């Protein structure tokens, strides 16, 4: 186009194109904004459809049920007939006559009623006139007279009203009589249809009817606002908004367990959402994610770049539990409970500081005297690769080479030489230990079997009675112990572990010298200590240069984090602090040279724990050792580490009873430290050793569920400090753990907290016991009735037969047992301790009396209380006795002459103490 025609150039095509583009864009904008980026609308419609379909199906099913039900059909038929009956013929005529009479009667009544009301208001008016006249000091007779007239009229009218009412009522009654059958049938029918009615209402509630059409409910954003849940960078409280339920419409409704997400019901809905209502807690405090986002699932779940709290998947969600619950050993939090336990007990805290886990005792053995214990060659091999000697040891593998291992072993031997020598000097080798004496070894093996060693230790390679997670033993496997430790040490250790290591978890089993010698002889046969020249190796290792090098290595690798080593008491943890490791941003994680590992927090951490030196480069050395944990164990630890967040949950959202939580956490730590659950079932956990007593569970360690409600706290405390034999038939022995006062207190409070008992102290006022009841109880316990002493010991008075057939000493009851528990126990022992040898004397599941009729009027419950009262009067605790050992050479007490009141006659009883059954007060 020439320059001359420039102004004639038409831009219409450009404008048209622009208009078209803008129009298209505008349409797209509206579509995208209202539909594409509001997926919750679609989901809510779908869910509505699902609900409506289900509700309608239920209606149809119920309708069909009614149609098929013969009862219902009969009622319908009868009703129809009855109705028909009231329509035609005589009855019909009678009804129409009654109806017209009723109408007339109503008119009469209404008239009378109206007149009455009129009169009443007239009376009001008259009163006013009267009082006004009075006030004006005017003659009141006129008004008064008028008033009286009206009153009379009122009375008359009231009579008229009553009469009209009566007549009307009579007519109505007659009518009702005729219809009574119909009415009862109608009522029946309505009752039968009530279910259908409800279901139909359900459907109605779900739809919006518009003329002949039904529309599902209009989608709406559903949100939960948690006030002051978050804090911004200036520590100001912010509200948190969770809109998850806008798409997850079925999450809090039963019945959608098999639906697809986002409609699926929350797994274990009653457990999780019952205790943490959605209205109070929302979703993101546990699941994380981007609560306010609703534009797409990825955004809502926080799976977008730069959102710091992406939603957890699978079991990882349990990382949220520990933010509010101090104690996570609860139903529904098993993964994080395991993770926490592993973190504490496998020894992570030895190198890594974590807030709240800084004060735990050192997880590794006491090394201040170890030169007196171990074989030097063994020590070198152990340091080099512990897993070769003991595959399931907690000690990790540092991948030392031979020279490093020798250096470290040398240092350890050198540093423990002084205290080791002192210890050896005061602990001479005992005579009488002989691993070649087959009888002695057999006796030792039998003791190891029966005393309870297997509650913690495996005694053969591969035996693991007490596992930590999947792959670690809580206590060392002794299958090859002879290669490691010398028998002199073993003997003194078994007799008194704390004499060697003041921090030992191993308890004393109160062994006699003979028992200890037999056990040591047996232990000496476990393993093959071949070709070890301890003395020569020691000479070599204790070379000064070697020792110095070893010291440097021990400092570098932070051995003092787990072990008590002389000279290294003040060493600090060598690992990174992990208090807020869960919040660590991806940018701060160093992947080294590994390009094959996906860039997520989870992958980094998993691989780090699985292969600790995986991110090493030529310039960057890593010293973390290899723990050889299974995949499940590492996943559990990951959940725990993910829970180490910077953001803390506000106090208002945490569990209210912090004291109880703390008691549970503290107590459980002590219990796990000493592995009580290796023998005992506590809170439905543990008790692995009971598998050996499946034939007769009462021969195994007692189950401690409900112990907090059972025993008195002060007795429990003193028992833990100094155990005494309680159950004479048991061969397995409760060891003396030597718990500190603090530890004993924590254990007692733990059991009390489990039962929800705030103040676990019981005071028994023996003076307040009713003498009648005590006497009745004594009678019931006598040989004429329940004959308790056939099995139960009472102080010095022992039952017949060998100890295997005895039951606990009833004289302990008043100091040991809670009176309320005694009642529950007698009522149904099997409920409290299934498999117990104590039989049930009563059966409270039905009303039939089980006790004798002539005691306390045959009232079972009163009899139980009488027994309890009687027991509370019995004597005091036996003194801490010598260990009870089944000794076949012991003479049995002579058979007691069972007199009518159950007391022993003096000449046959071997009781030196006088009768301790006295009624006081």
Report residue 130 as tokens.
Answer: 């009267």
Please state the closest distance from residue 217 (CB atom) to other proteins, in A: 20
Q: Is there binding between residue 899 and other proteins (CB under 8 A)?
A: no
Of these, 7, 68, 545, 887, which contacts other proteins (CB under 8 A)? 7
DSSP 317: G
Of these, 164, 311, 380, 703, which contacts other proteins (CB under 8 A)? 703
Q: Is there binding between residue 34 and other proteins (CB under 8 A)?
A: yes
Q: Is there binding between residue 294 and other proteins (CB under 8 A)?
A: yes
Q: Is there binding between residue 662 and other proteins (CB under 8 A)?
A: no
Do 328 and 322 contact (CB within 8 A), yes or no? yes
- Of residues 773-802, which lie at the interface with other proteins (CB under 8 A)? 783-787, 790-791, 799-802
Q: Is there binding between residue 712 and other proteins (CB under 8 A)?
A: no
Q: Is there binding between residue 197 and other proteins (CB under 8 A)?
A: no
Please state the closest distance from residue 664 (CB atom) to other proteins, in A: 18
Of these, 182, 364, 837, 859, which contacts other proteins (CB under 8 A)? 837
Q: Select from 398, 386, 388, 422 the least CA-distant residue to 550.
A: 398
Q: Is there binding between residue 267 and other proteins (CB under 8 A)?
A: no
Of these, 12, 234, 595, 621, which contacts other proteins (CB under 8 A)? 234
Of these, 180, 275, 685, 876, which contacts other proteins (CB under 8 A)? 685
- Of residues 588-617, which lie at the interface with other proteins (CB under 8 A)? none
Do 229 and 239 contact (CB within 8 A), yes or no? yes
Report residue 864 as tokens.
Answer: 């139980």
Distance CA 585, CA 80 (A): 77
Distance CA 250, CA 247 (A): 9
Report residue 847 as tokens.
Answer: 């009303």
Question: Under DSSP, is residue 108 helix (H, G, I), strand (E, B) or coil?
Answer: helix
For other proteins, how many residues bind (rule: CB under 8 A)? 63
Q: Is there binding between residue 213 and other proteins (CB under 8 A)?
A: no
Q: Is there binding between residue 893 and other proteins (CB under 8 A)?
A: no
φ, ψ dihedrals at 516, nearest 5° = -65, -40
Please identify, among the stretches 4-12, 133-141, 356-364, 500-508, the one whose residues bind other proteins according to the rule CB under 8 A. 4-12
Of these, 16, 29, 35, 552, which contacts other proteins (CB under 8 A)? 29
* Complex with other proteins: residue 98 or 832, whichever CB lies closer: 832
Of these, 268, 742, 843, 901, which contacts other proteins (CB under 8 A)? 843
φ, ψ dihedrals at 765, nearest 5° = -95, 100
Q: Is there binding between residue 497 and other proteins (CB under 8 A)?
A: no
Kindly report the three-state secondary structure assignment for every residue of 738-754: CCCHHHHHHHHHHHHHH
Distance CA 358, CA 614 (A): 27
Please identify, among the stretches 30-38, 178-186, 348-356, 752-760, the one whose residues bind other proteins according to the rule CB under 8 A. 30-38
Please identify, among the stretches 94-102, 236-244, 574-582, 734-742, the one whose residues bind other proteins according to the rule CB under 8 A. 236-244
Please state the closest distance from residue 341 (CB atom) to other proteins, in A: 12
Burial state string for 792-817 with b = 16 or more CB within 10 A and e = fewer than 16:
bbbbbbbbeeebeebbbbbbbbbbbb
Q: Count how many residues are written for the chain.
A: 921
Rg (the chain; Cα; Å):
43
Please state the closest distance from residue 196 (CB atom) to other proteins, in A: 29
Please state the closest distance from residue 856 (CB atom) to other proteins, in A: 14
Q: Is there binding between residue 761 and other proteins (CB under 8 A)?
A: no
Cα distances from 120 to residues 108, 143, 145, in angstroms, run 18, 15, 16
Q: Is there binding between residue 840 and other proteins (CB under 8 A)?
A: yes
Please identify, among the stretches 204-212, 250-258, 566-574, 837-845, the one whose residues bind other proteins according to the rule CB under 8 A. 837-845
Cα distances from 640 to residues 309, 334, 582, in angstroms, run 16, 11, 9
Cα distances from 245 to residues 205, 240, 258, 297, in angstroms, run 19, 14, 18, 12
Which residues share a beta bridge with 225? Answer: 241
Please state the closest distance from residue 581 (CB atom) to other proteins, in A: 21
Please state the closest distance from residue 224 (CB atom) to other proteins, in A: 15
Q: Is there binding between residue 293 and other proteins (CB under 8 A)?
A: yes
Of these, 39, 852, 878, 893, which contacts other proteins (CB under 8 A)? 852
Ramachandran class of 799: left when φ > 0, alpha when ψ lies in -120 to 50, beta otherwise = beta
Q: Is there binding between residue 892 and other proteins (CB under 8 A)?
A: yes
Q: Select from 315, 316, 324 the least CA-distant residue to 282.
A: 324
Distance CA 90, CA 103 (A): 20
Which residues share a beta bridge with 10? Answer: none
Do 250 and 257 contact (CB within 8 A), yes or no? no
Torsion of CA 832, 834, 837, 838, to 10 degrees: 30
Helices marked H in 208-333 — which ranges? 269-275, 278-281, 284-287, 297-300, 321-324
Token pair 């959202």 in the structure block, residue: 653
Of these, 3, 137, 270, 305, which contacts other proteins (CB under 8 A)? 3
> Is cis: bond before 330, omega within 30 of 0?
no
- Show the binding pattern over residues 815-834: x = contacts other proteins (CB under 8 A), - = does not: --------------xx---x
Please identify, among the stretches 26-34, 471-479, 622-630, 909-917, the one whose residues bind other proteins according to the rule CB under 8 A. 26-34
* Complex with other proteins: residue 513 or 892, whichever CB lies closer: 892
Report residue 350 as tokens.
Answer: 């030895």
Do 482 and 528 contact (CB within 8 A), yes or no? yes
Find the angle CA(822)-CA(823)-CA(828) to the nearest 5 degrees: 100
Q: Is there binding between residue 96 and other proteins (CB under 8 A)?
A: no
Of these, 612, 686, 735, 902, which contacts other proteins (CB under 8 A)? 686
Q: Is there binding between residue 332 and other proteins (CB under 8 A)?
A: no
How many other C-beta atoms lie within 10 A of the C-beta of residue 847? Answer: 7
* Complex with other proteins: residue 605 or 793, whichever CB lies closer: 793
DSSP 468: E
Report residue 488 as tokens.
Answer: 């002199």
Please identify, among the stretches 25-33, 420-428, 489-497, 860-868, the one whose residues bind other proteins according to the rule CB under 8 A. 25-33
Q: Is there binding between residue 235 and other proteins (CB under 8 A)?
A: no
Q: Is there binding between residue 694 and other proteins (CB under 8 A)?
A: yes
Report residue 210 as tokens.
Answer: 């518009």
Of these, 804, 890, 910, 914, which contacts other proteins (CB under 8 A)? 804
Q: Is there binding between residue 545 and other proteins (CB under 8 A)?
A: no
Please state the closest distance from residue 350 (CB atom) to other proteins, in A: 25
Question: Under DSSP, is residue 226 helix (H, G, I), strand (E, B) or coil?
Answer: strand
Q: Is there binding between residue 620 and other proteins (CB under 8 A)?
A: no
Report residue 134 as tokens.
Answer: 């009075």
Q: Which residues bind other proteins (CB under 8 A)?
A: 3-4, 6-7, 29, 32-34, 37, 221, 232-234, 236, 238, 243, 292-295, 299, 306, 467, 681, 684-688, 690-691, 694, 697, 703, 705, 783-787, 790-791, 799-802, 804-805, 829-830, 834-841, 843, 850, 852, 892, 895
């Amino acid at each position: 186009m020439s320059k001359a025609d420039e102004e004639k150039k038409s831009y219409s095509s450009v404008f048209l194109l622009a208009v078209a583009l803008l129009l298209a864009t505008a349409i797209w904008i509206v579509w995208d904004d209202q539909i594409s980026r509001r997926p919750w609308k679609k989901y809510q419609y779908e869910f509505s459809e699902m609900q409506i379909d289900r509700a309608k199906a239920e209606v149809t099913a119920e309708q069909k049920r009614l149609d098929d039900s013969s009862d219902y059909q009969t009622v319908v038929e009868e009703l129809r007939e009855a109705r028909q009956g009231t329509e035609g013929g005589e009855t019909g005529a009678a009804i129409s006559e009654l109806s017209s009479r009723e109408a007339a009667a109503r008119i009469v009544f209404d008239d009378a009623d109206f007149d009455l009301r009129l009169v009443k208001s007239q009376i009001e008016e008259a009163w006013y006139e009267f009082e006004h006249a009075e006030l004006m000091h005017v003659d009141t007779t006129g008004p008064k007279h008028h008033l009286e007239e009206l009153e009379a009229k009122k009375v008359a009218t009231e009579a008229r009203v009553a009469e009209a009412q009566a007549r009307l009522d009579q007519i109505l009654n007659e009518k009702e009589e005729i219809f009574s059958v119909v009415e009862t049938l109608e009522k029946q029918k309505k009752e039968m249809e009530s279910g259908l009615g409800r279901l139909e209402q359900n459907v109605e509630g779900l739809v919006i009817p518009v003329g002949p059409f039904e529309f599902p409910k209009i989608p709406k954003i559903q949100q939960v606002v948690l006030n002051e849940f978050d804090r911004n960078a200036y520590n100001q409280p912010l509200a948190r908004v969770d809109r998850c339920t806008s798409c997850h419409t079925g999450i809090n409704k039963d019945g959608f367990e098999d639906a697809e997400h986002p409609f699926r019901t929350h797994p274990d809905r009653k457990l999780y959402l019952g205790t943490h209502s959605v209205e109070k807690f929302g979703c993101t405090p546990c699941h994380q994610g981007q609560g306010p986002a609703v534009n797409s699932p990825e955004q809502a779940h926080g799976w977008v770049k730069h959102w710091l709290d992406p939603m957890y998947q699978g079991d990882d969600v349990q990382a949220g539990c520990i933010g509010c619950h101090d104690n996570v050993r609860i139903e529904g939090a098993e993964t994080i409970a395991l993770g926490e336990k592993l973190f504490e007990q496998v020894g992570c805290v030895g190198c890594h500081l974590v807030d709240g886990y800084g004060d735990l005792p050192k997880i590794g053995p006491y090394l201040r005297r170890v030169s007196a214990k171990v074989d030097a060659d063994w020590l070198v091999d152990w340091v080099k690769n512990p897993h070769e000697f003991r595959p399931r040891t907690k000690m990790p593998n540092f991948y030392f080479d031979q020279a490093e291992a020798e250096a470290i072993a040398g240092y350890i031997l050198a540093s423990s030489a002084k205290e080791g020598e002192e210890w050896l000097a005061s602990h001479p080798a005992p005579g009488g230990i002989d691993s070649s004496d087959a009888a002695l070894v057999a006796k030792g093996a039998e003791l190891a079997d029966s005393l309870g060693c297997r509650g913690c230790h495996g005694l053969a390679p591969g035996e693991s009675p007490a596992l930590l997670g999947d792959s670690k033993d809580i206590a060392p496997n002794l299958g090859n112990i002879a290669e490691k430790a010398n028998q002199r040490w073993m003997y003194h250790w078994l007799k008194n572990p704390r004499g060697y290591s003041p921090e030992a978890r191993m308890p004393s089993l109160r062994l006699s010298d003979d028992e200890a010698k037999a056990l040591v002889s047996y232990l000496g046969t476990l393993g093959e200590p071949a070709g070890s020249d301890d003395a020569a190796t020691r000479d070599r290792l204790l070379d000064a240069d070697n020792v110095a090098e070893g010291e440097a290595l021990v400092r570098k690798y932070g051995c003092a984090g787990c072990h008590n080593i002389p000279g290294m008491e003040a060493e600090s943890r060598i690992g990174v602090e992990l208090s807020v490791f869960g919040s660590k941003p991806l940018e701060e994680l160093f992947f080294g040279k590994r390009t094959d590992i996906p860039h997520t927090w989870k992958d980094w951490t998993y691989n780090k724990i699985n292969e600790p030196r995986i991110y090493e480069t030529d310039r960057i050395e890593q010293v973390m050792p290899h723990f050889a944990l299974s995949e499940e164990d590492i996943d559990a630890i990951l959940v725990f580490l993910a829970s180490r967040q910077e953001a803390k949950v506000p106090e208002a959202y945490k569990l209210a009873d912090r004291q109880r939580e703390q008691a549970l956490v503290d107590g459980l730590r002590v219990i796990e430290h000493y592995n009580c659950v290796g023998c005992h079932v506590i809170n439905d956990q543990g008790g692995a050793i009971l598998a050996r007593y499946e034939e007769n569970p009462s021969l195994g360690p007692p189950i401690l569920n409900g112990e907090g409600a059972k025993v008195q706290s002060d007795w429990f405390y003193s028992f833990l400090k100094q155990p005494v034999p309680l159950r004479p038939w048991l061969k397995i022995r409760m060891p003396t753990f030597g718990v500190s006062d603090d530890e004993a207190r924590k254990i007692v409070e733990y059991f009390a907290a489990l039962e929800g008992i705030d103040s676990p102290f019981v005071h028994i006022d023996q003076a307040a016991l009713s003498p009648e009841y005590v006497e009745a109880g004594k009678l019931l316990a006598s040989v004429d009735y329940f004959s308790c002493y056939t099995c139960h010991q009472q102080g010095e008075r022992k039952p017949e037969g060998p100890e295997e057939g005895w039951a606990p000493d009833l004289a302990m009851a008043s100091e040991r047992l809670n009176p309320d528990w005694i009642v529950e126990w007698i009522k149904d022992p099997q409920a409290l301790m299934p498999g117990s040898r104590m039989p049930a004397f009563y059966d409270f599941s039905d009303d039939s009396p089980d006790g004798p009729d002539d005691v306390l009027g045959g009232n079972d419950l009163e009899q139980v209380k009488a027994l309890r009262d009687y027991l509370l009067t019995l004597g005091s605790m036996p003194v801490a006795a010598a260990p009870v050992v089944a000794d076949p050479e012991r003479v049995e007490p002579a058979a007691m002459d069972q007199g009518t009141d159950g007391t022993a006659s003096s000449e046959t009883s071997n009781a030196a103490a006088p009768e301790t059954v006295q009624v006081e007060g």
